[in-house]
Chain A
Amino acid sequence: MAEGALFAAAHGIIEKLAGQIVRELDCRWAFKDEITNLEKSLFAVKAALQDAEAKQHNSEAIKPWLTRPKDAMCDVDDLLDQIFNVDLRRQLMTCDKICIDLNRINLESIWGSAGKSCSSFMRPRSVDFGQMEVGMKNRMVTLDLEIGMIGWRNVKVLKNRNSEVGRLQKLLTRIEDLPISLLLEILYRLDLKSAMRCKSVARQWCYLISDPSFANDFVRLHASSVVDRPFALLLHYVDKQIKKRHLLATSEEPEFKSLTYIPPIYQHDNIEVTVQASCNDLLLCCANMVGNDAGSGPMSVYYVINPISRQWTALPPMPELARARVGFICWYDTALHKQLSYRVMRIPEFKGESAEFSVEIFSSDTGKWTQSVGLCPQGFQLDVFAFPGVPYNGLLFWWSSTDCLVGFDPNTSKCCQFFEKPVELNPSHGIERLGVCHGTLRICQISGYPYEVADPCLRVWELKDYDEGGKWNLEHELYFDKMVSEKSPWLTEYLSKKYPTVAVLAYHPNDREVVYLMIKFKVVFCNLRRKTLEVVCDIPTADYFYHGCNVFTFVLPCWPTPIPFQTEKAT
């Protein structure tokens, strides 16, 4: 094979070089120990390449390194100008070709059984194998076979017996000292913000950090540290005066500043973008053309976006449906090498109770929308408010107006879980909010005046025994006039009056005692056990958030979930 021949040629030259250098070194600097080590290193390289056959890694990251050897070669050439004869220099220049062609060769070893003879002490491990010493022992070309990169690093000259060496050291100052795998070990130990920022340090760093495998290893290292992930509530509303949709995040932390990002392709005046659903750290948004699209009728383009990494992918366009219920669920598919898999389920609005209804499902595995039939033998009725489905345990849950909880399988749109309402639930008016808190499903209800002659009360139920038929447990029962706000006494006063207007926005993702309320144009943090309230932020309008509509929970992960490359982006 031509490539094999090239590699053999490369090896031949390097061995020759080594021989030549060795002789020269010997007479100038008496590096006897280093000479034997050089030989050993070459054997080590061969062994490493044999191992590498199994570890092929196609990476974009290899490309920037192709330019590096050229630069380094120029330096080495300068050095050799001073010291070696012309013949050798000409030979060394051909190393330029060797490095570039390594990319095509795919690291296939062609050096045969010679590798077996190397001492196992010099057996290469994940880093530091393939140390071919080219030039004056001041450059080590490191073949990092775990991630398929060619790196260069400085090595200090150990025995400085000649003034020439001092000059050499001055020329070799540009390249970093660390092999790539060790650099990665350091980067994995940074926090999210610093690691993201390090993308701007150098090109190589940008490629390394953007590579999907970086995310996997980063998360693995951080998963062991048990810490409550920060989160924010995302509120979506329309500013009636300027007729523009707004996204507001409840947290001021820098990491959440990106939440309101809209891809440039959708940032036009005649495109209306709405957030439809959220799952983990991904958002499902919908872009609608405002005004009439000639011929085909108004179309909606749904897209999945990770606002922190600003990665996004668009789904194929679908006809626009007003008030359709949308559910979005995603998970890591371990079979597909930890790639993200997601489903979007869209239920066109239908009136009344029904056991069968039409459903549209998008699967990221097929990249297509399919028409399906939603089945719920016990009867399912859409809630008045267009809630997104709540993703939980691989199913999408909706609260049916028949006062029960229904979970649909996003692959088959069949109802797989069905739970009757809690005993204490007041049947005359629906629930406030369906959500997940600390790994369990929750619903809540505000009862009392004006619905009935009773003191206003907030009740929160949690679904226990999920696998054994399910049982609702009344976790909290809090009367409004018992709630106290230390920092905002006006709140306490307001709630003790006769008809306070309170809506439940969301549950805390982890803290089982916390709930977020909307009271008088403010987002309020409520601790149900301590019965305390605290204002979080202002909201300009209350209309959109009743029953928790248009409120999305966003939990900051260890590392932003990478979105796999999907179909072409549609306009």
Chain B
Amino acid sequence: MKFCAVKQYFDDENNNNITSGASTTMIPLPNVESHPLAILITYCKKHLKIKANNADNKKETEKEMEQYEQELLKKVMPQELTELILAANYLNFKEALDFFCRAVASAIQNKSIEFVRKFFGLESDFELGEEEKLREEFAWSFEGVDED
């Protein structure tokens, strides 16, 4: 089971000998909203399906997964990515967490600082002159940055 947090819940239930009886257990996931959860479930199902289809061929799996990921990224808004990361982290779903972190990283890679601030909803909290000093010290890192 990829949602490790949920798996742990089941394991713990067995350990505590809670006889729930019913085959469908209600698992509280207070920190995950329905929208990101739905996306994660779809991602997980797709991941397992592709893995099953290409049981021996690791490269094929990777390629197909990449294609699916590219398509998924087109449908998801950049701001939603942070929600997805939080959800994947809470559920302890490592593959999805890695994927969404990579997605955010590539969204902000080579972009200007103002863009990154806007993306994360941050404001500059540097004192006067501090930011200028940093810019001067690492001037080389500001070259070749994409236009906003």
Contacts and interface: CB of A to CB of B under 8 A. Distances in A.
Interface string B72-83: 000000000011
Given A173-B121, A199-B138, A201-B122, A127 B104 contact: no
Given A177-B82, A193-B110, A257 B28 contact: no
Contact of B121 (A127, A176, A189, A196): A176
B138 A178 contact: no
B113 A197 contact: yes
Contacts of B124: 201-202
Nearest to B142: A197
A93 interface: no
Interface in B97-148: 97, 101-102, 104-106, 108-111, 113, 116-117, 120-126, 130-131, 134-135, 137-145
Contacts of A204: 125
Nearest to B81: A186
Contacts of A193: 110, 140-141, 144
Contacts of B30: 33-34, 37
Contacts of A255: 140
Nearest to A183: B120
Nearest to A177: B82
Interface in A199-245: 199-204, 206
Contacts of A120: 8, 12
Nearest to A258: B140
A526 to B, nearest CB: 29
B92 A125 contact: yes
B110 A310 contact: no
B125 A182 contact: no
B86 A202 contact: no
A119 B89 contact: no
A121 B8 CA distance: 6
Contacts of B89: 127-128, 182
A60 interface: no
Please classify the interface of chain A as helix (H, G, I), strand (E, B), loop, or mixed, using the class held by over half of its residues. helix
Contacts of B42: none
A139 to B, nearest CB: 14
B141 to A, nearest CB: 4
B113 A203 contact: no
A254 B141 contact: yes
Contacts of B131: 200
Contact of A174 (B31, B110, B123, B140): B123
B68 interface: no
Contacts of A570: none
Interface size band for A:
35 or more
Contact of A178 (B85, B92, B113, B137): B85
Contacts of B137: 310
Given A127-B89, A254-B141, A258-B140, A198 B116 contact: yes
Interface size band for B:
35 or more
Contacts of B105: 186-187, 189-190
A185 B109 contact: no
Contacts, number: 119
Contacts of A187: 105
A186 B89 CA distance: 12
A193 B111 CA distance: 11
B115 to A, nearest CB: 10
A182 B86 CA distance: 8
Contacts of B43: none
A197 B116 CA distance: 10
A79 B88 CA distance: 31
B97 A185 contact: yes
Contact of B86 (A119, A125, A177, A201): A177
Contact of A186 (B12, B104, B113): B104
Contacts of B44: none
Contacts of B83: 177
A191 interface: yes
A527 to B, nearest CB: 28
Nearest to A187: B105
A177 B121 CA distance: 8
A70 to B, nearest CB: 13
Given A178-B85, A190-B105, A201 B113 contact: yes
B5 interface: yes
A371 interface: no
Contact of A194 (B86, B108, B126): B108
A114 B89 CA distance: 26
Interface string B57-74: 000000000000000000
Contacts of B126: 200, 202-203
Interface in A251-271: 254-258
B138 A197 contact: yes
B130 to A, nearest CB: 8
Contacts of B104: 186, 189
Contacts of A194: 108-111, 141
Given A177-B121, A178-B82, A196-B138, A121 B110 contact: no
Nearest to B121: A176
A202 B97 CA distance: 24
B8 to A, nearest CB: 6
Interface in A91-141: 119-121, 123, 125, 127-128
Nearest to A310: B137
A202 B117 contact: yes
A178 B140 contact: no
Given A176-B120, A194-B110, A201-B117, A121 B101 contact: no
A424 to B, nearest CB: 44
B85 A182 contact: yes
Interface of B: 5, 8-9, 12, 27-28, 30-31, 33, 82-83, 85-86, 89-90, 92, 97, 101-102, 104-106, 108-111, 113, 116-117, 120-126, 130-131, 134-135, 137-145
6 contacts: A128-B31, A186-B105, A187-B105, A199-B138, A203-B126, A258-B140
Interface of A: 33-34, 37, 64, 119-121, 123, 125, 127-128, 156, 158, 173-174, 176-179, 182, 185-191, 193-194, 196-204, 206, 254-258, 310
Q: Closest 5 interchain pairs by CB?
A: A189-B105, A254-B143, A257-B140, A196-B141, A197-B141
Given A179-B86, A197-B113, 6 more contacts: A121-B5, A198-B113, A198-B116, A254-B140, A257-B139, A257-B143
